[in-house]
Chains A and B, each alone.
Chain A
Amino acid sequence: MARLELDSVTKRFGEGDGSVLAVDDVNVDIADGEFLVLVGPSGCGKSTTLRMVAGLESITDGEIRLDGDRMNEQGPAERDIAMVFQSYALYPHMTVRQNMRFGLEESTSLGDEEMDARVDETAELLDITELLDRKPGALSGGQRQRVALGRAIVREPKAFLMDEPLSNLDAKLRSQMRTELQQLQADLDTTTVYVTHDQTEAMTMGDRIAILDAGELQQVATPLEAYHRPANQFVAGFIGEPSMNFVDCAVEEATLVDGAFRYPLGDEVGGAVDAAADVTLGIRPEDLSVDGADGDAAGGDHAFDATVTVVEPMGDENVVHLSLADGPDLVATVNGLRRIESGTDVTVGIPENAIHVFDGDSGDALHNRSLDDAELDDARV
């Protein structure tokens, strides 16, 4: 069993006044065989966290446990963990085979034949058997990435750590490798912690995602849960592309007010925001209805006049930038086959069952959208 627990893990660089708190009290429990993605903007501490798990950074406070055993004092060599680096970090003077054997030679007492057998097996799994006698310098980026993976897999460790392994690949290769990695991980059933700044990777690959910002853990949840029930405004804005629309409003008697913009609230939502004075209204682009012609048209006081400013045709959808007559600018996505032109006057509907409301100070979610017909709560694994 390779359960990985991060218990109040903290990392402070330096001492005293000049010290930097890179990771602040992070708590995550990763089940055996789970694929957890650590995601967040650059500088958020995700790589530092990963390196602490690897043993490449010391842990200032808190505990990291693998299978219940405390790992804080163990060096990277003793942890039975394999890591794939962003730059692949292959040994340039060794062949692929030697690269893959290195870990086995240094941390196991296997015989030559057994080591070679494992290498061959892994090479076949990753489809790099023809490359075994080449040196990294003679390989393409994608091939090197596979070798880096192979080097980790061959050791049959308790956990894989991956530090943005796909970010050096071009877009096409990246999406191909994404799928392959997922499949691989499912086949090998090894606990994996995967760091990325790309929220698409996080959403598509992780069993669960852990979102970090400035060293603090924002939310740990399944991708869809993070998408539809973000714990705070940061998560809501980070997950999803194009990002959620935010409108800062004041609460006046169960109505959200921002200048001339008025959004009355029903009982349920009104009750959730009751205590707050300043809130932020959140609505995802795909939940906005434009012109009411798509069904779901929200009429009445949840419909607003607007003008289309910019249209970005993406093919599968159109990203429509809107400027409300008595309200903020919003971004909506509509069906790609619809024809919308810039300058058109439209009606924008903001359905109440799709809005999120966040506290104006803390950013915490006061209300998430309703998901009456969603199947979110089943675990993905």
Chain B
Amino acid sequence: MSAADRLQTTVAGLDRTRIALYAVLLAMVAFYLAPLESGFMTAFKTPDGFRTTTPFAPPPLGEFTVSAWGTAFERLSTGLLNSALMAVPATVLSALFGSLAAYGLTNLSWRGQLGVLVLFVAGVFIPYQAVLVPLTQFWSFVDLGGRIPLEIVSANEGLINLSITHVAYGIPICTVLFRSYYATIDDEMLEAARLDGASAATIYRRIILPLSIPIFAVTLIYQFTQIWNDLLFAIVLVSNPSNQVVTVALNQLQGSFVQQFNLQMAGAFVAALPTLVVYVLFGEQFAKGVAGDS
């Protein structure tokens, strides 16, 4: 079929309903992207610029500036670094623990595993408020900085505490994600491995783990987003300003530049950048994590 023929077929295929459908879909796109789009535009405007233009309009010539971005980045750079330092280990560890727990509760048959699993599942839903006060008590008692005589520990105590906390509270959802995946692994294959002489640990290492790569991708992406985006644990557990993570830093930025929207918007984007990039690159995995299955 020539291009012209194809075009003709396409146009003929478009009827009223389809057009309406796409119109609505595009309206929804506008709905979901409007805050982001106007924020993005605003971030490039000078204060005069956003006073004189509508929010979603791009900055007029002469009112275009990247100074907001510069300032925002400057103020958030420590936060970005801290978030990365905290989030990456926490993500990896919670995913690992989730995988191990799911294996022990799924592919190895033993009585009572459903009960233990239910306890994990329930852990997904707890409101963090219910553990905040004990957590603060706990961490001040543990006092890593005081007990471990290493400079690096005392300097980053808040981050370490936060990271460990995220690992612990991330385990339930990671376990759930891995569990639904591991449940689909062929039992007979694992039995064959047993007959071949493999122990439970060998089966995990040589069979389960290599087969887990897709679900690891999903879990890592999803967990990273959750941990990076958290605010509540961060403000409660981290008091040292040098240990501030980016969400807290952003909140402070917002508080100190109340009328300077361009700065706020720029800050918001800078803080959101890692998760945005991850989402754009790995949106499929994120969607699967959100949906809770693989």
Q: Which residues of A contact B (CB under 8 A)?
A: 54-56, 75-77, 79, 81-83, 85-87, 89-93, 102-103, 106-108, 151, 155
Contact = CB atoms under 8 A, between A and B. Distances in A.
Given A75-B194, A77-B195, 19 more contacts: A56-B194, A76-B191, A77-B194, A83-B195, A85-B192, A87-B188, A90-B189, A91-B193, A92-B211, A93-B207, A93-B210, A93-B211, A102-B196, A102-B198, A106-B193, A106-B196, A106-B197, A108-B197, A155-B196
6 contacts: A79-B195, A89-B186, A89-B192, A106-B196, A106-B202, A151-B196
Which are the 6 A-B pairs with shortest beta-carbon distances? A107-B197, A103-B196, A106-B197, A89-B188, A89-B192, A89-B189
Nearest to A87: B188
A81 B192 CA distance: 11
Interface of B: 186, 188-189, 191-199, 202, 206-207, 210-211
Given A87-B186, A93-B211, A106 B198 contact: yes
Instruction: Specify the main secondary structure of chain B where it touches its partner.
Output: helix
A54 B196 contact: no
A367 B198 CA distance: 52
B188 A85 contact: yes
B195 A81 contact: yes
A91 B206 CA distance: 10
Contacts, number: 62
A77 B197 CA distance: 4
Contacts of A89: 186, 188-189, 191-192
A283 B188 CA distance: 42
Contacts of B194: 55-56, 75-77
A77 B199 contact: yes
A56 B196 CA distance: 12
Nearest to B189: A89
Contacts of A85: 188, 191-192
Nearest to B192: A89
Contacts of A77: 194-199
A82 B195 contact: yes
A86 B192 CA distance: 11
A90 B198 CA distance: 14
Contacts of A55: 194-195
A194 to B, nearest CB: 16
B182 to A, nearest CB: 14
Nearest to B207: A91
A83 B192 contact: yes
A376 B147 CA distance: 85
B198 A91 contact: no
Contacts of B207: 91, 93
A87 B191 CA distance: 12
Contacts of B198: 77, 102, 106
A93 B196 CA distance: 16
Contacts of A107: 196-197
Nearest to A77: B197
A147 to B, nearest CB: 12
A108 B186 CA distance: 25
Nearest to B197: A107
B197 A56 contact: no
A83 B211 CA distance: 22
B217 to A, nearest CB: 15
Contacts of B189: 89-92
- Looking at B186, B191, B195, B197, the one whose CB has the most chain A CB atoms below 10 A away is B195
A82 B194 CA distance: 10
A175 B191 CA distance: 27
A92 B207 CA distance: 9
Nearest to A108: B197
A280 B282 CA distance: 71
Nearest to B211: A93
B191 A56 contact: yes
A269 B210 CA distance: 67
Given A92-B211, A93-B210, A93-B211, A103 B197 contact: yes
A149 to B, nearest CB: 12
A83 B202 CA distance: 19
Nearest to B199: A77
B195 to A, nearest CB: 5
B41 to A, nearest CB: 48
B95 to A, nearest CB: 19
Contact of A54 (B193, B195, B197, B202): B195
Nearest to B213: A93
B206 to A, nearest CB: 8
A260 B157 CA distance: 98
A77 B202 CA distance: 12
